[in-house]
Amino acid sequence: MKTIEKVSAFTGNTFAIWVILFAIWAYFMPSGFTWIAPHISLLLGIIMFGMGLTLSIDDFKGIIKMPKSVLVGVISQYTIMPLLAFGLATAFQLPAEVAVGVILVGCCPGGTASNVMTFLAKGNTALSVTITAVSTLLAPLLTPALTLLFASKWLPVSAGSMFMSIVQIVLLPIVLGIVVRLLFRKQVEKSVKALPLVSVVGIVAVAAAVVAVNNTAIAETGLLILSIVMLHNVLGLLVGFFVAKLLRLNFDDQKAISIEVGMQNSGLGSTLALAYFAPIAAVPSAIFSVWHNISGPILATWWGKRTTKKQTEASAAGSRQIS
C-alpha cells in the first residue's frame, strides 16, 4: 500500500507533465487512444466518486464559517468564466463548435486540482475545498442553464438532457462517495492517499482521448484555440483575484478564489462536448486541462514563495525587536 501511496503522490506532484506528454503522444499516435473516447463518461464518474470519498461534512461547514468568501467564490465561478468565454468567442469570431466548446468549459465548476494549487499557494485551502464542493453540487443546474444562455447563439443546447448527464456522471458519484466514506470511514481513510493516482490516470486519459479524436482539427485550429484558452484562464485568475480584493477579502481568500475561478473541471467540459456537440467542441476543454495545469502551479509556486519570504522577514523583524 505504501508503494501505491508513493506512486500516487509522485503522479499527483507531476500531474501537468503527464497531461502534456500523453496529449503529445495522442496527437502523433491517435490510434492508440481513440478507443478511450466512448468511456469518457465512465472515467469522469470514477474521478467524481473519488472526489466524494475525500469530502466530509466538515468541508461544507465552511459555508457557515466563511459565508461571504464562499458566496463570492461560487458566484465568481459561475459569472466570470462564462462571461469571459462568451466575450472571447464573440470578439475572436470563433467557429460555432469551437465557440460552444470554450463557453462550455467556462460554465463548468472548479476543478479538484484547484485545492492542491491553493495549498501550494499558501491560500485558504479550506475555502477552496468548500467552493469546489458547492460549485460542483450546483453544476447540474447551473452548467446547463448558463450554457443555454451563452451558447445557444451558435448551436442548439439541450439543457434538460445535459442536466441529466451531469446528475449521472457528477452528482450521483460524488454523493455515493460521500456515503461510502460515512459508512466505511476507516477503510476509506486508509486508501484515500491512492486517489490522486486514480484522478491523474482518469484526467490524462480523457485529455488524450479528446486530442486523439481531434488531431486533424487541432492541426488546423490548435494555435487559435490554445491562444483563447490561455487568455480565458489567465483572465479568470486575474479577475477572480481582483473581485475578491475589491470585496475586501483577506489575501489568503483572494488567492483561493483566484485559483478556483481560473481552474475549471475540464473533464466535465470534454464529456459534455462529446455527448452533445461536435468532437471539435471538446478540444478547448482538453487544451484547458493541459494549460491550467501549467499556469496553476506557476502561480501557486510564486505565491507560496512570496508568502514564505514575507513570513520569514516578519519573524526576523520580530526577533530583532525582542532582542
**Cα–Cα distance, 32 to 26 (Å, whole number):** 7
Q: What is the largest CA-CA distance in the chain?
A: 71
**Cα–Cα distance, 154 to 57 (Å, whole number):** 41
**Which pLDDT score, from 0 to 100, does residue 301 have?**
81
Q: What are phi and psi of 78, to 5 degrees?
A: -100, 10
Model pTM score:
0.84
Per-residue pLDDT, averaged over 167-187, amounts to 84
Q: How would residue 11 be classed by pLDDT, with cut points 50, 70 and 90?
A: low
Dihedral Cα 221, 222, 228, 232, nearest 10 deg: 140
- Residue 217, burial from CB neighbour count under 10 angstroms (0-12, 13-18, 19+): middle
**Which pLDDT score, from 0 to 100, does residue 217 have?**
74
Per-residue pLDDT, averaged over 22-41, amounts to 85
The CATH architecture that domain 21-305 belongs to is: Up-down Bundle (1.20)
**Which pLDDT score, from 0 to 100, does residue 321 have?**
61
Q: How would residue 21 be classed by pLDDT, with cut points 50, 70 and 90?
A: confident
Report which of 270, 212, 196 is spatially closest to residue 13, judged by C-alpha positions.
196
**Tens digit of each residue's pLDDT (9 = 90 or more) over 40-71:** 788 888 888 877 877 777 777 777 888 899 99
Report which of 100, 102, 107 is spatially closest to residue 278, judged by C-alpha positions.
100
**Cα–Cα distance, 303 to 322 (Å, whole number):** 29
